[in-house]
A and B are shown apart, each in its own frame.
Chain A
Amino acid sequence: MDFLISFVLALVALLILLQLTVLLLWVERKGSALIQDRVGANRANLFGGLLPFNLGIVNTLMADPLKLFHKEDIIPKDADAFLHWLAPFIAVLPLFVTFAVVPFGDVLVLGERVINLQAADVNVGLLFVLGMVSLGVYGVVIGGWASNSRYAFLGGVRGSAQMVSYEIGMGLALVAVVLTYGSLDLQEIARAQGQLMWGVIPAWGVFYQPLALVLFFIAGIAESKRPPFDLPEAESELVAGFYTEYSGSKQSMFMMSDFIEVAIVAALVTTLFFGGWQVPYLYRDGFHLPGGFFFGVPSLVVTILQVGAFLTKLFIFCWLQILVRWTYPRMRYDQLMNLGWKRLLPIGLANVVVTAVLVLALEGFTVP
């Protein structure tokens, strides 16, 4: 029974990630059209358009991935065939497991059993996510090198420098959050955010660490190599950067790794800064509003509300990243490096020092 529960939880975590990835593909196509005042993807329609209404979403969800996986796969002459084949897998596989440590709800009470809604209860969950994301860079570098093309090679080199640089800013932003909540376990951090500041404001990371949120969000977008930080691809300079020589299902695996990284950044922003699955004032037995009001809610409804809140926040931050992607122009390479090393790094360090001093000086600053 325990094994079955773990299996189902792992499946749910993986399915949230994969479904979100496919959905983001559609949201990006339609969303970019909305922003650019176009109609966007509307060609694929179920039953040849015989239905009175357009089932565009269903079709784009099915037709796009099917199309991508049926395209011809070309391996360039003189490419290192084995590494060329391996690179997309290195880019995408470590990212699949990241959602295992992200909590998507508090607990599910089934009779006697209290199930923790998190696939893997790792006490260093945050580091696990960072570690797996940092392995993804090998896909970019190896893919760029193995293609035996100048453009791909330049993209790969740019990718490695960019991702190593921004990992530092990202890590420093998260250190301040970890100091505030005193844990590396994402479920513990999410639970700590259920408390209240001065009895009214939820103790979410955004109120304790607003600077860390801004730093993390910028570094996160840079880490996922999307505009305005898409220097490794830079289609106006490098054709398509590190995946110039990729086609068919391998190219779509690189694309998928992009969307998974968007989902991971959104999940971390949600969990660390916006309370994860927390609904303000909702606890295991019901709503405790400030001023002593209480509404009892059945435990199953509480769980459903929490999972719903988590998914809603996740969608909002995915959409925010797509909005950023279609709004800002690409940076120059020196601007990118300056932002990473001369802005994010010193501000992040200062934030860590100030947070550490406050944590030591004020008893009430940490959320126990």
Chain B
Amino acid sequence: MIAFYFIAILTLASALMVVLHRNPIYSALGLVNTLFLIAVSFVMLDAELIAMLQVIVYAGAIVILFLFVIMLLNVETEVRTARVSRLGTAGLVLALLLALELGVFALVREPSSGTPELPAGFGSTELLAETLFSDGMLSFELTSLLLLVAVVGAVVMARRKVES
């Protein structure tokens, strides 16, 4: 339980760093840290496979491409204006609404008695694959199709000749 709170506080702190830090490089690093700590939470929930996929895919590949783009575009440190932007206000309102919803849910829900028994093989690769390729077959294939479209789209955009 202490471990959970420790990880949760660290996760929130690095998530805040993503939003609040002025330097985009630090924001991206905060994002890596957030994703890594979420993977740690997955490990604590006995879902090792998801945790490792989280590290390999998000922390190891996607954010590194974010960093790549930020570095190549040479994004400057953001200059903060005193006025709160409209987008910022909207974000704050949505965040407060989410916090309210989660709070109400946590209060209304019956407190569970003790830790529930895990089914045999919980979090294992076999069980996850079984679910993915039976119950989740349709959504799995549709997601693959979506990703394929994205890849083809990126290649088409990259090959288009620049007309000036």
- List chain A positions with a Cβ less than 8 A from chain B: 80, 83, 122-124, 127-128, 130-132, 134-135, 137-138, 141-142, 145, 153, 156-157, 160-161, 163-164, 167, 184
B64 surroundings in chain A (CB, below 8 A) = 137-138, 141, 160, 163-164
Q: Is the CB of A131 within 8 A of B68?
A: no
Q: Is the CB of B53 within 8 A of A127?
A: yes
Having A131-B55, A163-B64, one finds 16 other A-B pairs with CB under 8 Å, namely A124-B48, A124-B49, A124-B125, A127-B52, A127-B56, A130-B56, A134-B60, A135-B36, A135-B60, A145-B71, A153-B71, A156-B71, A157-B68, A160-B67, A161-B68, A164-B61
Q: Is the CB of B48 within 8 A of A142?
A: no
Q: Which of A80, A134, A160, A184 contacts B56 (CB 8 A)?
A: A134
Smallest Cβ-Cβ distance to B63: which chain A residue: A138
B71 surroundings in chain A (CB, below 8 A) = 141, 145, 153, 156-157
Determine whether B18 belongs to the interface, using a CB cutoff of 8 Å to chain A.
no
Determine whether B65 belongs to the interface, using a CB cutoff of 8 Å to chain A.
yes
B53 surroundings in chain A (CB, below 8 A) = 127
12 pairs, CB–CB < 8 Å, chain A vs chain B: A83-B25, A128-B52, A131-B55, A134-B60, A135-B60, A137-B64, A138-B32, A141-B67, A145-B25, A157-B72, A167-B60, A184-B125
Interface positions, chain B 136-155, Cβ under 8 Å from A, are: none
A135 surroundings in chain B (CB, below 8 A) = 36, 55, 59-60
User: Nearest Cβ in chain B — how far from A266, in angstroms?
Assistant: 21
Rounded to whole angstroms, the CA-CA distance of A219 and B65 in the bound complex is 19
User: Nearest Cβ in chain A — how far from B116, in angstroms?
Assistant: 21
B68 surroundings in chain A (CB, below 8 A) = 141, 157, 160-161
Q: Is the CB of B61 within 8 A of A134?
A: yes
Q: Is the CB of B60 within 8 A of A137?
A: yes
Rounded to whole angstroms, the CA-CA distance of A327 and B32 in the bound complex is 37
The 5 A-B pairs with the shortest beta carbon distances in the complex, nearest first, are A134-B60, A131-B55, A127-B52, A131-B56, A124-B48
